[in-house]
Amino acid sequence: MIDQAMLDAAAASIVEQDKDKAEQVAREAVEKGLDPLAMISDGFTVGITRVGDLFDRGELFLPELIICSEIMKGVTEILNASIPAEDKKAGAKVLIATVEGDVHDIGKGIVVSLFNAHGFEVLDLGRDVPTMKIIEKAEEFGAQVIGTSALLTSTMEGQKKLEEALRKEGLRDKYKTIVGGAPVTERWAKRIGADAYAEDANDGVKKAFALLQ
């Protein structure tokens, strides 16, 4: 159980754009052996969500948003490194990417952490990844699951393009596909022919387990 004060400090460090404090809190959590995933989801993510709300209300602007995002990425890296990989019992290979034209990767980072923590072998292609690169890398890596993230209504189209390209290349049955991201819905997943929609990182892992049964 993580002390609420620690979670509050994590959230506040993001809202206050305080990189030193954020990294200090993350390192302290690692030293104390606190659950890194809980630190991310119940601490730092609360902060970036608050930042998102402030941005939506016009109380915070793009340059500040970028600073908060960079801090968020830094702490996620510190905490990710401390996640004990289970002994690969899931045994499955998952490729994860943010689709082309989209640079939002904070949520994707959390998804990657959770898949790693559940023993999946993860290939994280990063953000703004072209459709054909996703397919090429999935082939090389021998992925069983392809998970994509889209945060913009305009870039959700990348998830549709992936389904179309997989069909065109005769590879659709080779992979299970999972789509996620704030504007993405179950309905969208059905419409484009994805195998599953995941509401959050936890749901992504659950859906992957179910698809691989």
Residues at the site binding ligand B1M, with contacts judged by CB under 6 A: 45, 48-49, 52, 55-56, 62, 65-66, 69, 73, 96, 101-108, 110-111, 147-149, 151-154, 178, 180-183, 198, 200-201, 204
- Per DSSP, what are the bridge partners of residue 123? 95
Q: How far is the CB of 192 from ligand B1M (least distance, A)?
A: 14
Q: How far is the CB of 62 from ligand B1M (least distance, A)?
A: 6
Our CB check for ligand B1M shows the closer of 25 and 198 to be: 198
Our CB check for ligand B1M shows the closer of 14 and 34 to be: 14
Three-state DSSP string of the chain: CCCHHHHHHHHHHHHCCCHHHHHHHHHHHHHCCCCHHHHHHHHHHHHHHHHHHHHHCCCCCHHHHHHHHHHHHHHHHHHHCCCCCCCCCCCCEEEEEEECCCCCCHHHHHHHHHHHHCCCEEEEEEEEECHHHHHHHHHHHCCCEEEEECCCCCCCHHHHHHHHHHHHCCCHHHCEEEEECCCCCHHHHHHHCCCEECCCHHHHHHHHHHHCC
Our CB check for ligand B1M shows the closer of 32 and 70 to be: 70
Q: How far is the CB of 70 from ligand B1M (least distance, A)?
A: 7
Q: How far is the CB of 74 from ligand B1M (least distance, A)?
A: 11
Q: How far is the CB of 211 from ligand B1M (least distance, A)?
A: 11
Our CB check for ligand B1M shows the closer of 123 and 151 to be: 151
Query: Nearest-CB residue to ligand B1M?
Result: 107
Our CB check for ligand B1M shows the closer of 34 and 60 to be: 60
